[in-house]
Every structure is written in structure tokens, then in C-alpha cells.
Amino acid sequence: MNIALLFEEDLTSPCSATLTDRRLRHLQEVLDIKLGDCISVGQVNGMLGEATVTQLTPLSAELEINWNRQPPAPLPVTLIIALPRPKMVKRIIQTIATMGVKELYFINSYKVEKSFWQSPWLTEGKLLENVVLGLEQAMDTQLPNIHLRKRFKPFVEDELPDIANNSLRLIAHPSGSQGCPTQVSQQTTLAIGPEGGFIPYEVDKLIASGFTPVSLGERILRTETAVPVLLSKLF
């Protein structure tokens, strides 16, 4: 946790806050904060700042905050990821939040197991919990939007044209004949397949929507590895 991310309900005035939960425990147990110490904070979807600890008890910390800078710029990308197995979802959400992705679609695909959609990691509360951990790591405040789309064809046919409009459209595909581009500054829509890969029908549908298959080379990466590698190469 490199900042404490503050929600509306944590603020006691525009420039003061009370911390009582996981963030307080982290400040006490990991950072060993003392009265008068300064810590970095951010307001959800707002600015970053420095906060002075003005009162400290085992149950709460009072903070006086000087909001003084903007969060880092987002990446110009919309990610479309075939829903991975539940234990990966948590890590992928933290990673995309840390790396600055602000639009993520988890979509269905032929090789996504139906049971994955029942995962507790996809509930609103768990998604938010992991987004916050990712943002606190990166010292960012802007919450990403995470969308769940349980049907591939209607998503690709009805929604994707607007989502990907005017963007560079790429499918990460190990057998893609082109390498993954680098130093991209254009808005990009990037599709990443499920554990078993997109089936030919799905690849063809995406190609028909203007997507180009690009490869990271012959080594097949797990989705959770492919995501940061692709984002790092692209941007």
C-alpha cells in the first residue's frame, strides 16, 4: 500500500479523514506510523495528497490532508479478456488497476468454463476490494470500470463496434503472424483469450470486427502473465 485510498465516507471535511480498517492496520503494523507522521493518500476518482497524522489510537487515525497533485495518466487501452479461472481473476484485477487500465471487459468464450461465472471474485464487493489494492500499489485514484459479458456473439456484434471505434484493434494470439507492436500512443482495444485459447470461430469474428492477431512469440504465457507483458510491450 503506497497510498491510503480514501472514500467519501472516510472524509470528515474536505481536508480531513478518519481511518479505522485495513488501511489503519497497514499504517500501524507495516509502516509503524506515529503521531505527526506524514503519509500519502488519494481520494477515489480524485487527487493525491500528503496527510499528517493528527490523532492516533489503536482503533483510529485522524488525518489532515494537503491535496496537491493529480493521479498518473491512464493507459489508452480497453482490455477484453475471456474470463479466466477464479484464482487468476483476483490477480488480474489488481494488475490491471496497478498498470493504469480503466476499461476491462471479462467476456465469455467457448473455452471458458461456465462455473467460472459463479466465482465470488466477480461480485461487486470483491471486484472493488481488488481494484483498490491495485490502485493503492500504483498510487492511482481512478477506479477502472469492469464489465461482465456472459455472451460472446452479442458482445462482439452489438457492443464491440462502439467500444473499439477508432482504436487500434489487436487479439493476442500465440500463432499470430505479426509481432506485438511497441510504443503505441493510439487508443487500443486488446482481446486476450481463455486458458484454452480463442477457437477459430471467435478469432474469425474478431478479425471480421477489424482485429489483428499479434503474437508475443512461441512461448505460451498464462493470461495473468500475458496481460502485463502485452501492456508493457504496447505502451
> Residues interacting with ligand SAM, by CB under 6 A?
172-174, 192-193, 195-198, 215-217, 219-223, 226
Q: What's the closest the beta carbon of residue 62 comes to ligand SAM, in angstroms?
A: 46
Contact 48, 139 (CB under 8 A): yes
Task: State the nearest-atom distance from the C-beta of 234 to ligand SAM, in Å.
Answer: 12
Question: Least distance from C-beta 87 to ligand SAM, angstroms?
Answer: 14
Q: Measured from the CB of residue 122, what is the shortest distance to ligand SAM in angstroms?
A: 19
Q: Where are the beta strands (DSSP E) in 98-154?
A: 103-107, 145-149
Query: What distance in Å separates the CA atoms of residue 26 and residue 6, rounded to the nearest whole number?
Result: 14
User: Please, which residue, 77 or 172, has the CB nearer to ligand SAM?
Assistant: 172
What is the SS3 assignment for 52?
Answer: strand
Q: Which C-beta is closer to ligand SAM: that of 140 or that of 224?
A: 224
Contact present, 136 and 27 (Cβ < 8 Å): no
Q: CB of 62 within 8 A of CB of 39? A: no
191, 180 in Cβ contact below 8 A? no
Q: Which of 194, 191, 170, 173 lies closest to 181, judged by CA?
A: 170
Residue 146 one-letter amino acid: I
Query: Is 63 or 180 the residue whose CB approaches ligand SAM more closely?
Result: 180
User: For ligand SAM, which is the closer residue by CB, 134 or 213?
Assistant: 213
Q: Which is nearer to ligand SAM, 53 or 81 (CB)?
A: 81
Q: How far is the CB of 95 from ligand SAM (least distance, A)?
A: 13
Per the listing, cell 471474485 goes with 121
Which three three-digit cell numbers place residue 88? 487468476
